Each structure stands twice: as structure tokens, then as C-alpha cells.
Amino acid sequence: MADRTRTRLLNALKSSGPQTAADLAKGLNVTSVAVRQHLDGLHQDDLVDFEDIKGSVGRPKRVWDLTPVGHQQFPDNHSNLVLGLLTGLNDLFGEEGLEKLISHRETHSRSAYQKALEDVPDLAGRVDKLAELRNQEGYMAEVIAEDDGFYLVENHCSICAAATACQGFCRSELRLFKDVLGEDVKVERTEHQLSGDRRCVYRIEAQLG
């Protein structure tokens, strides 16, 4: 029974993304106490991790999510396909071929993003719209506003397999954000999943002067 509950917790986090223990308990129809006990065990096994998120009132909410090790518990034939295609592309056309592929993807994304953002006048609106676009692509993105700027947080990497094989994809995405948010905007990656962080985070602020 305990193993079954652990499996159901992993499946719930995989299918629905980060959740609180209360949300998981409600969805699985088990007690919050039991869920927290299982989450503690999964955390010790490095299958899940948590983040305490501050709200406007009350205590921070503890939100649980799968770790990279946790994601590896699920077969990923899509990732295997991507890695196979990139390996084949590199074998056939070398690094130049990979760079052309990355450039083509970047050009296509830039055009789509710029079209979506062209009528949004202020930086806050553009960042929110960018997060919305990234969410549609599966990045589980959110925006955290600060007094002097914003953090674009991506809790899931939709191109993790490709970026693992070729980090040119990561460099391309950072360049893409800088292009579509405007020349007067500074974008800096402060957390990077492929460098060992749990997520990717981008610091965004308007350049003065």
C-alpha cells in the first residue's frame, strides 16, 4: 500500500506539476498526514523537492515537484528520439549543422514571440505575455515581480534532452529573450537547470539611461 501511494504521488506530480501536500491529498483522496510522510520519504530518496513560496498573507506555501531523478522514473521515448536525431545530425553535418538547426529554431521563435508582444506597451505586460507563451510550450513558467524588475521562472525544461546534448539551445533561448523584450531591457540567467539548479530563472530589468 505504501509503495502504491508513493507511485501515485509521483504520477500526480508528473501529470499535474508542482502541488502542495494538501492539493495532493485532495487529488489522491488520502490524508494530508500520510501524504507528508510519503513526501518526506521521496525527498530523502531525491525523487522530489520543495519550494516555500510566499503569498500576500499567511505562511509560505510549500510546493512539491519532481527532481531530475524523479523525472527519470518515467520512460521518455521522446527524449531518446531527440537525442538520436541530434546525434545523427551531428554525424552527418557536424557542429555547423547543429548551429544551423538552432539558428532556424531561434528565428522561428523570435518571429512568433515578437508578433505576440508587438502590441504590449510596458515591460510588465511583455514579461507576463512571454511567460504565457512559454507555458503554452510546456515550460511551467511564472513571473515574480520585484521592486526593480522581474524574475521569469521556468519550472520545467521542455527541451531538456536537446539542451543536454547541445547547450547551444540554452544560449539561443537567452539571446531570444533579450531580442524580444527590447534593447532597453537587461536579461540575465540566474539559475540554470543543466548546471545543477532545480529550474531556470531569468532576471529581467529595464536599463536606465
Q: Which CATH code for domain 77-206?
A: 3.30.1380
State which fold the 2-71 domain adopts. Answer: Arc Repressor Mutant, subunit A (1.10.10)
pLDDT band at 118 (very low <50, low <70, confident <90, very high): very high
Domain boundaries, the chain: 2-71, 77-206
- pLDDT (average), residues 185-195: 91
Residues 6+ apart with CB under 8 A from 119: none
DSSP secondary-structure letter at 139?
Answer: -
Residues 6+ apart with CB under 8 A from 39: 9, 21, 24, 48, 50, 64
* Predicted pLDDT of residue 3: 78
Q: How far apart are CA 150 and CA 172, in angstroms?
A: 20
The per-residue pLDDT for range 60-70, each reduced to its tens digit, is 899 999 988 88
What is the number of alpha carbons within 13 Å of residue 77 lying toward its C-beta? 0
Q: How far apart are CA 158 and CA 161, in angstroms?
A: 8
- pLDDT (average), residues 119-129: 94
- pLDDT (average), residues 83-94: 80
* Predicted pLDDT of residue 122: 92
In Å, how far from its chain's centre is CA 9? Answer: 20
* Predicted pLDDT of residue 155: 80
Mean pLDDT, the chain, whole residue set: 86
pLDDT for 128 beyond 90? yes
pLDDT for 99 beyond 90? no
Q: Which helix (H) or strand (E) holds 101?
A: helix 77-117
pLDDT for 76 beyond 90? no
E strands within the chain?
19-20, 48-53, 61-66, 141-146, 149-154, 185-191, 200-206
The whole-model pTM stands at: 0.62
Torsion region of 204: left, alpha or beta (phi above 0 gives left; psi -120 to 50 gives alpha)? beta
- pLDDT (average), residues 160-176: 80
The per-residue pLDDT for range 37-50, each reduced to its tens digit, is 999 999 999 999 99
- pLDDT (average), residues 110-122: 94
Q: How far apart are CA 38 and CA 45, in angstroms?
A: 11
DSSP secondary-structure letter at 31?
Answer: -
